[in-house]
Amino acid sequence: MKRIFDIIISLVLIFILILPMVIIYLSIIITSSGGGIHWSVRIGKNNQEFYMPKFRTMKISTPQVATHKMINPNNYITKVGRIIRKASLDELPQLFTVLMGKMTLVGPRPALFNQYDLIELRKKNKIDELKPGITGYAQVNGRDLLTIKEKVMCEKIYRDNMSLLLDIKIIIKTVYYLLRLSYIKH
């Protein structure tokens, strides 16, 4: 049922958001050097690497580390990228990854390939058995304000209580927090 839900909602959202996605893509390639999509190496289900698309919000010279581990990350964010990141619009291309079955709408956010502490803690708590999501329980319960340990505890709560109803609640809360720009530090 979760997979059918993912496909239907992703198709509807892509249909509704295709024009804004084209506008975002064009604004990125017009205002900065490089492509409009960044393919980030991420860790998915069963710790398998996959390429996750995002609208590029950072300069080409940006190191491949989590934003919170960067020294002065604002130096790397493009002008258009600030707006896109603040509203989490950089995540929209992931709807296509959901359609392909590499991600789900709701699940733990995929770790960067070099977030070893997060990967190990997820493995210890069997979160690595879940397909990664565009949004998740941790995102609606603190997102950037949570420590890695707190995020994994939220993901564990999600894993233990997974249901279509919980996914719908998380999606509704995600939209609410995005409209308020809550829990977003960068």
Instruction: Report residue 111: phi and psi, to 5°.
Output: -75, 150
Q: Return the higher-pLDDT residue of 14 and 146.
A: 14
Residue 35 and residue 14: Cα distance in Å, rounded?
20
Residue 21 and residue 93: Cα distance in Å, rounded?
8
Residue 47's pLDDT is 94
- The encoded tokens of residue 98 equal 């959901």
Q: Is 19 exposed, middle or buried (0-12, 13-18, 19+ CB in 10 A)?
A: exposed
Question: How many distinct structural domains can be found in the chain?
Answer: 1
| Cβ-based neighbours of 85, under 8 Å, separated by 6 or more | 57, 77, 184, 186
Distance in angstroms between the alpha carbons of the first and the last residue of the chain: 34
pLDDT band at 186 (very low <50, low <70, confident <90, very high): very low
| Structural domain boundaries, residue 6 | 2-180
76 found inside a domain: yes
Contact (CB, 8 A) for 144 and 68: yes
**What average pLDDT does range 158-176 have in this prediction?**
95
- Assign 76 to helix, strand or coil: coil
Quickly count: other Cβ atoms within 10 Å of residue 43's Cβ: 24
Residue 144's pLDDT is 76
pLDDT band at 181 (very low <50, low <70, confident <90, very high): low
- The pTM (predicted TM-score) of the whole model is 0.85
pLDDT in tens, 38-54: 999 999 999 999 999 99
Average pLDDT, the chain: 90
Residue 68's pLDDT is 65
186 found inside a domain: no
pLDDT in tens, 62-79: 877 766 667 777 788 898
185 found inside a domain: no
- The encoded tokens of residue 88 equal 């989490």
